[in-house]
Amino acid sequence: MTIRQAEPRDFPRLLELSYLFDFSPFNIDKKYRSLSENFYPSFADDMIKKKTSVNIAAEEDGKIVGFVTIGLNDTLSRAVGKKIGNIYLLAVDPVYRSKGIGRFLVEKGCGVLYTYGADVITVGTDVYNLPALHVYESTGFKTAMFWHIYRYFPGAERRQDEISEDIDLISRKNLEQYLPHIERPVSLLKDTRIPQDLLTGYIAEQFIKKSFDDENVILEYRDNGLSKGMIHLSADKLSMATLDVKKPIYKISDLIVFPEYAGKGIEIKLLKDIEARMGEYILMEMWAEPGQRDLICALEECGFHLSYSGVSLHRWKNKSI
């Protein structure tokens, strides 16, 4: 077996292997897959062709039988003062599985990232993808965080009376008061070796930067002039490209209710409002941590269902490979 860096001429074969991901948020939800006869691994395509990515291929008898795609997140690394490496993709031809190829590729990928100066390497996979979990854990990765994806598929009729007069577009001034309360399923937020003040500052900065473009919608619930909660969603172009659809797929990035108003149904009001307000769309999805019980209860109350459960793992450079 030969291990080498993949070249652009190899990309069609890497994409071919990407169709074989058995455990991905795009494959495992049958209702999601039933929305379109067309399916294209857009995330894999983006990562493979990304200028900062490195694709390492395993070749047997002149044929690529597996690959790993890795890269450094330079912008985030500069923000937090730690070099953050990522394993974006790992795929092995089913015929060649259970032969140690996946583990070998992960070891090679980690070696390259450490050569680039990575302090920590992150990777995510399905909680039930036992072969992948075994590979990562056997090469020094440790569980950092579990997360869920909840999806809402609109019915034929939506109740326009769910659109609330107390919910409207947020102003920049009002938006800033929610920044200290941003809580997203980001595994680095669970890792105390990452400077949390720098990381939360980076997340808030990126949030503000993207908040008022044409891709994002941020609505606020105000009661008698008092700000009580907000919801932030945007068109998920990656999912739309994956399914090859024109109608929007929305991703909810944030649903924040101030602590003093928690448990009073504001999350449900915001969710039901956008379900009715956003016109024609294919689905909405939101990622949540298992510990966000109030959020999960609100999602389920509003018709969202659990579509995928994932796990993020970290490996710090003091682990030998």
Q: Give pLDDT tens digits for 187-201.
A: 999 999 999 999 999
Residue 221: inside a domain, yes or no?
yes
**Listed range (12-21, 145-154, 218-227, 231-240) with the worst mean pLDDT:** 12-21
Q: Give the domain CATH number at 104.
A: 3.40.630.30
Question: C-alpha distances in angstroms, 282 versus 62, 247, 306?
Answer: 42, 6, 17
- Label residue 24 by pLDDT band (50, 70, 90): low
Residue 179: inside a domain, yes or no?
yes
Domain hosting residue 180, numbered range: 151-311
pLDDT of residue 157: 66
Residue 51: inside a domain, yes or no?
yes
Residues 89 and 173 in one domain: no
- 3-state DSSP assignment of residue 143: strand
Residues 114 and 162 in one domain: no
pLDDT of residue 192: 95
User: Which residues are within 8 A (CB) of 207 and not within 5 positions of it... i.e. 6 or more apart?
Assistant: 179, 182, 232, 253, 254
Residue 321: inside a domain, yes or no?
no
Residues 18 and 130 in one domain: yes
Average pLDDT score over residue span 200-229: 93
Q: Which parts of 126-195 fold into alpha helices (H)? A: 130-138, 172-176
Q: Supply φ then ψ for residue 121, to 5 degrees.
A: -120, 130
Average pLDDT score over residue span 9-32: 82
Residues 210 and 256 in one domain: yes
Distance CA 288, CA 149 (A): 6
Residues 166 and 222 in one domain: yes
Residue 296: inside a domain, yes or no?
yes
**What would the pLDDT profile of 255-305 be if each residue is shown by its tens digit?**
999 999 998 999 999 999 999 999 999 999 999 999 999 999 999 999 999
Per the CB < 8 A criterion, the answer to whether 182 and 256 are in contact is: yes
pLDDT of residue 22: 65
Average pLDDT score over residue span 175-179: 95
- Does residue 321 surpass a pLDDT of 70? no
Residue 121: inside a domain, yes or no?
yes
pLDDT of residue 40: 85
**Listed range (113-122, 195-204, 206-215) with the worst mean pLDDT:** 206-215
Residue 228: inside a domain, yes or no?
yes
Distance CA 211, CA 169 (A): 11
Range with top average pLDDT, 29-33, 214-218, 257-261: 257-261
Residue percentage of the chain with pLDDT more than 70: 96
Q: Which residue has the tokens 């077996």?
A: 1
Distance CA 127, CA 144 (A): 12
Between 157 and 202, whose confidence is greater?
Answer: 202
Between 84 and 159, whose confidence is greater?
Answer: 84
Residues 256 and 208 in one domain: yes
Residues 257 and 215 in one domain: yes
Residues 298 and 234 in one domain: yes
As a whole number of Å, the end-to-end CA separation of the chain is 19
For 94-128, b/e burial (b = at least 16 CB within 10 A) is: eebeeeebbbbbbbbbbebbbeeebbbbbbbbbee
- Does residue 160 surpass a pLDDT of 80? no
pLDDT of residue 288: 97
Please provide the average confidence, as pLDDT, over all residues in the chain. Answer: 93
Residues 158 and 201 in one domain: yes
Residues 195 and 256 in one domain: yes
Per the CB < 8 A criterion, the answer to whether 260 and 52 are in contact is: no
Residues 14 and 131 in one domain: yes
**What would the pLDDT profile of 58-110 be if each residue is shown by its tens digit?**
999 999 999 999 999 999 999 999 999 999 999 999 999 999 999 999 999 99
Domain count along the chain:
2
Average pLDDT score over residue span 224-238: 96
> Which token pair is 32?
């999601």
Per the CB < 8 A criterion, the answer to whether 47 and 67 are in contact is: no
- Label residue 211 by pLDDT band (50, 70, 90): confident
**Listed range (131-140, 150-159, 200-209) with the worst mean pLDDT:** 150-159
Per the CB < 8 A criterion, the answer to whether 143 and 311 are in contact is: yes
DSSP letter for 179, please: G
Residues 171 and 291 in one domain: yes
User: How many CB atoms are closer than 10 A to CB 222?
Assistant: 17
Rg of the chain on CA atoms, in Å: 21
**Listed range (19-28, 136-145, 233-242) with the worst mean pLDDT:** 19-28
Residue 52: inside a domain, yes or no?
yes
pLDDT of residue 27: 64
